[in-house]
Amino acid sequence: MRRFMASRPGVAAFLLGAATALALPPLHLLPLLLATIPAFLWLLWRARGARQALWWGALFGFGHHLAGLYWVTHALFTEIERWFWLVPLAAPALALPLAMFTALPAWAAWRAGPGWPGVLAFAGAWTLAEMLRGVLFTGFPWNLLGTAWAFHALPIQPAQLIGTHGLSLITLLLAGLPVLGWRRAAPLLATGIAAWAGFGAWALQRPVPSEVAARIVLVQGNVPQDVKWEEAQRVPIFRRYLQLSAEAAARATESHPGQPVLVIWPETASPFLLTQDAAAREAIAAALPPGALLLAGSVRAAWDGDGRLSQLWNSMVTLDSEGVLGPVYDKAHLVPFGEYMPLGGLLPIRVVTGGLDFSAGPGRVTLSLPGVPAVSPLICYEVIFSGRVVGTERPGWLLNLTNDAWFGHSAGPYQHLAAARLRAVEEGLPLVRAAQTGISAVFDASGREVVRLALGAMGSIETGLPGAAPPTAFARHGLALPLGLAALLLLLGLAAGRRKRVQVGS
């Protein structure tokens, strides 16, 4: 293996990056990191200069993101006759700029040098690069390495203190230990994992917040993206959602009389514009039991004085059992190329059908709803932004409406779900998630799974609304703690590496 890495370092860096992606959802092959991260560090410490280390870091990142984001190509199959030429380019085009965020950690590890200084510098720089990736060019913090632990509630409990970025930091510190030699690494690794698990077990032993006296009904229509907007399918799709909603809401009302019932549809689930279509609102009102409330994903539109369509919003609409519209939330963080054309439309690639850009909403809001705690709505990938899912007023729960039908039966929906689960732990708030084709789920304020509708299933599921926990350290301080820890480790690693070089030189 070392002979191959020495003779083909660029290929080795790419393959190690791709293998590292296997630790991400849905596989969660975390033990693999104990091989890929030390091997990559070993490679970097043999680079002949900064330029070579940066290049190998970029190749590692390209392989990592190409393997982790291969599923974006699936979106093109909704109009394959139009986008067939883009199929071999889409995933590499996304992975290429993301690879640049791995070049900095590679340089830091090379600069700090072999041993523990390089491990500290690499972990700190990687974490800082992840944070930077969530901000630059509208931000894309997908597949943070810390999401690899989101297969269960126990290992993600430290996120309430240091967030998902902090999980990435600790993961890389542990994964890099084998470079010290297994005699030294084994006890440190065992101690670190034991402490991590012990904290998780302790955190989950604390009293569970009391359940809110309200019932949640998640409706998953399982409508494929390629038929979603066909004119002939609008009425059948709408009827499917009405029937699933009516049946589940009636069960919730009968089993828990007197409790508010919230029926939740995914992102753009309604094929009709609910804020403008009175007939659609009347049909929904007839399907809801008295006192129930619908929270539904729907496109919202506006027309100019000449009757021409002037604006579109990707929205969450609230509607009561009498057909009266309540608060509306407009998605604020839009998807480039999917919902709007960046760079003034210089690149003519619009995957979403339609010729008009969506307009962005004003930003994070907390909506007041009758009979239940206030909610922070998050549409689609707004939920992946750690530390940026609530407004100035703390809500009682988080609601994520999404349409992952774009990505079929791939890793994409599982990765999205893992990110959403971590927001619950970070904020100490229950999270309710409704997805068009799945995975719909409810997590409590500690990230425990309450219910789930599987990927590709059609149906509805009813459960109580978990209660909120007191604000976590992360909810109070946000990214400050993981940012400070990552910067400190980077500086310590670089300083220790410099001192070691001076000692060797003297």
Residues 72 and 407: beta-carbon distance below 8 Å: yes
What is the C-alpha separation between 161 and 476, in angstroms, rounded? 10
209: cis peptide before it, omega within 30°? Answer: no
Residue 458, classed as helix, strand or coil, is coil
Beta carbons within 10 angstroms of residue 322's beta carbon = 11
Residue 358, classed as helix, strand or coil, is strand
Residue 269, classed as helix, strand or coil, is coil
- Strands, E assignment, 273-381: 293-303, 309-320, 325-330, 367-369, 372-379
Kindly name the residue from 130, 228, 339, 380 that is annotated as catalytic: 380
Beta carbons within 10 angstroms of residue 317's beta carbon = 23
Nearest to 275 by CA among 236, 319, 331: 319
Is 228 a residue of the active site?
A: no
What is the C-alpha separation between 74 and 93, in angstroms, rounded? 14
Residue 209, classed as helix, strand or coil, is coil
Kindly name the residue from 130, 267, 339, 462 that is annotated as catalytic: 267
Burial 243-257 (b: 16+ CB within 10 A, else e): ebbbbbbbbbbeeee
Please state the φ and ψ torsions of residue 443, each to the nearest 5 degrees.
Answer: -120, 145
CA angle at 359 for the pair 353 and 365, rounded to the nearest 5°: 125
Burial 181-193 (b: 16+ CB within 10 A, else e): eeeebeeebeeee
Strand order in the sheet with 431-435: 367-369, 372-379, 397-402, 431-435, 440-443, 449-453
Is 81 a residue of the active site?
A: no
Catalytic residue set: 267, 331, 380
